[in-house]
Amino acid sequence: MESPKFPIRWKLLSGFIGLALLVLVVVLFAVSQILDNRIREDINSSFHEAGKIFEQLQDVRFRQLRQTATLVADMPYMKAAISTGDPNTINQQIRQELVHLLHFDPLISDTLSSESLTTSLDSVGLVMVFDKNGLPLGQLSDVDPAKISMSNKLGVQKALEGQHPQQSYIWKQGENYFNVITIPVFLQDQVIAALSLGYPIRNREAELLAQVIGYEVSYYVDDKLLTTSIDSLLPKDRRVLSEGIEKASLDEINRRGSTTIELEMKNQQWLVYLVPMVQKVSQSVKISGYYAVAKSLTQALEPLHQLQRVIYLIGLGGILIAIVLGITLTRNLTRPINRLLDGIKRIENDDYDHPVSVESRDEFGQLTRTFNKLVANIKENLREKETLLAEIHHRVKNNLAVISGLLQLESSNVEEEHTERILKNSQLRIQSMATVHEMLYEAQNFNNLSFNDFIKKMVTSIHDIYKSAYSDLSVDIEAEDIDLNVNQAVPFGLMVNELVTNAFKHAYPDGGSGVVAISFFEEEGNVVLTVEDEGMGLDDDFSLEESESLGFSLIKILSQQIDADVTVESEHGTKVTVVFEKKDKKGSSSSLNLN
């Protein structure tokens, strides 16, 4: 047996693969969701790390600043300059010391070297000297002529009290913001002045920090975004960031020391971690701004989103495959079955001529082909048997015809009328049986017999036999086209034979002219036959049950055989009506039908 080219197990297998793919996609999607959360958590926790680095860096910055400031404040020339109280001398000294320190302090060189030293030191750093009352004695730029006391600036008063700074403060000088520390200038245990040193909060600062910690860094001071390392931030985005920081939960900052907010900037989703710039003022703590550490969530999640897109594509593909396979599979499975079922129903209706069409090349195709082959075989066998049966019917008919012929020969030799009649009757009966068989094999249909044809034939043959005697009798046949089952046809055929013969023989015993009317029709599932003559009629006391003539006895027996009601009327001749139910009765005689 040839193996199917695209077997069902492959179809099923691919269907299951599609299903498995779907399940896989669902699982992958769940996993990617979990990963998404994990990445967020990771970013958050690394924010904490970044925040720590940030604080450490700030601390290092603070220490550097303090170291530089202490060095400047401890320069004898600086002290000497301060002790003169002359701004010009002090300013000159500040510049000299700073230029010296350029080669010493990385912080100063970092703040100064990137920008032209000659143009302005002021733009890159802040150095100020105050006297004991906080009045500016000198600074990197010219002294403010207003001579306003700076002791209200954060950290100045403490320095003037001789305290060294523990943290840097954010000052606004002009348009710039500075990270400033202020230290006392001592002269033999006496505070003679305070020195402030600061570096400006600039983009470069944020960018350097961003490089170190690997996240974007922004400074938010005085309710505005001072600087940020995020490239090409539009005013709209800056506003978003500022608003985000403003709205940040103070509760959480107070409780945890930091908070994380989520924003949308530059068409990307950002996670922003806020570390407050805490400034201790006497006993209280003031938040003067925030360090904002930012990470683009969109960028961080990009690989995952790519993966998700791939997953979606695979999922879509899987769904398509599953749908297509589902449809084709069900069609492939049900259609052949339905077709096969139709084929079987056709066989049930004896239709062997329409084989089931074969479309698929799978097991169903094989099954259908095999079925068709089987049907073809059955059909062949059936034809052989029909031929055989026709042959048998032919032989039976021939044999009956021979017997009939023999009886005729015998009857022509018999002198005695009674014997001759018996022989003729027998001959007629046998003749009628032979006719049935003849018709059966001629019709090639052993199931049903076209009975109106039979009646005509039989009447013709009866008429032939009795022609000489009843040459003037005419037979009027009015028959519908009714097919009868063989089981009913043979007894019924004999009955008709008897009735017609009776009509011929007994209605017109003396010959003469007359009409024998035969009507044959179907009425509400019943077959009705009437044989009517205009002859002499029956005796008045005639009763079918009590009649002892061979003809009526035969009729009785035959009517019982086919459950027929026989009524005999005799008024102007005789009218016999036979009514029986038409049955597709199958018996041994019709066993050739294989249904």
Partner 1 sequence: MIGKTSSIPLVKYYSSRVTLLAFLLFLMGSLLLSQHAMAQGTTVQGSVVLERAQKPTIEVGGGGYQNKFGGNTDKKDNSLDDVLVWIESQNKNQTGVKETTNRRVLNQLDKRFKPRLMIIREGDVVRILNSDPVYHNVFSLSKTKRFDVGRRSPDEFQDVQFNKPGIIDVFCDIHSDMHAVIVVASKQTVAMQKLDGSGKFRFDEIPEGEYTLHFYALGDREESIEVNTIDKNNVMLEPIRIGS
Q: Could you tell me the maximum CA-CA distance found in the chain, to the nearest angstrom?
A: 188
Tell me the H-state helices in 85-197. Answer: 87-102, 106-113, 156-160
CB of 189 or CB of 571, closer to partner 1: 189
Residue 62 CB, nearest approach to partner 1 (Å): 12
Q: How far is the CB of 191 from partner 1 (least distance, A)?
A: 5
435: left (phi over 0), alpha (psi -120 to 50) or beta: alpha
Task: Using only the alpha carbons of the chain, give its radius of gyration.
Answer: 62
CB of 71 to partner 1, least distance (A): 7
Q: In this structure, what DSSP letter does residue 174 have?
A: T
Least CB distance to partner 1 at residue 197 (A): 14
Residue among 433, 530, 551 at smallest CA distance from 477: 530
Structure tokens at 168: 């840097």
Within 10 angstroms of residue 135's Cβ, the number of other Cβ atoms is 15
Residue 156 beta carbon to partner 1: minimum distance, rounded to whole angstroms: 15
Q: Are 364 and 332 in contact (CB under 8 A)?
A: yes
Give the distance from CA 371 to its chain's centroid. 34
Taking the complex as a whole, the smallest distance from the CB of residue 234 to partner 1 amounts, in Å, to 45
Closer to partner 1 at the Cβ: 189 or 539?
189
Nearer to partner 1, 75 or 265 (CB): 75
How far is the C-alpha of 395 from the C-alpha of 519, rounded, in Å? 31
Nearer to partner 1, 197 or 311 (CB): 197
Q: Copy the structure tokens of residue 524.
A: 């509400």
Query: Smallest distance, Å, CB 192 to partner 1?
Result: 8
Neighbouring residues of 470: CB distance < 8 A, sequence distance ≥ 6: 463, 504, 508, 511
Q: In what order do the strands lie in the sheet with 284-296?
A: 224-228, 216-221, 284-296, 268-281, 259-265
Comparison of 168 and 408: residue with beta carbon closer to partner 1: 168
The size of the chain, in residues, is 595
Query: Is the Cβ of residue 86 or residue 581 nearer to partner 1 in the bound state?
Result: 86
- Residue number, 187 or 234, with CB nearest to partner 1: 187
Instruction: Tell me how far, at minimum, the Cβ of 155 lies from partner 1, in Å.
Output: 13
Which residue, 158 or 424, is less far from partner 1 as judged by CB?
A: 158
Beta strands 473-479 and 514-523 are parallel
**Cβ nearer to partner 1, comparing 84 with 299:** 84
CA distances from 502 to 244, 408, 575 (A): 121, 19, 11
3-state secondary structure 88-116: HHHHHHHHHHHHHHHCCCHHHHHHHHCCC
Distance from the Cα of residue 556 to its chain's centroid: 73
Instruction: Say how many C-beta atoms besides its own lie within 10 A of residue 508's C-beta.
Output: 22
- Closest approach of partner 1 to the CB of residue 140, in Å: 19
Tell me the closest approach of the beta carbon of residue 35 to partner 1, in angstroms. Answer: 48
Give a three-class secondary structure readout of 427-482: HHHHHHHHHHHHHHHHHCCCCEEEHHHHHHHHHHHHHHHCCCCCCCEEEEEEECCC
Q: Shortest approach of partner 1 to residue 27 CB, angstroms?
A: 59
C-beta of 41 vs 59, nearer to partner 1: 59
CB nearer to partner 1: give 158 or 202.
158
Torsion sign over Cα 287, 293, 294, 295: negative
Nearer to partner 1, 83 or 426 (CB): 83
Least Å distance between CB 279 and partner 1?
Answer: 18
Name the site residues for partner 1 (rule: CB under 8 A).
Answer: 70-71, 74-77, 79-81, 83-86, 89, 93, 132, 161-165, 184, 186-192
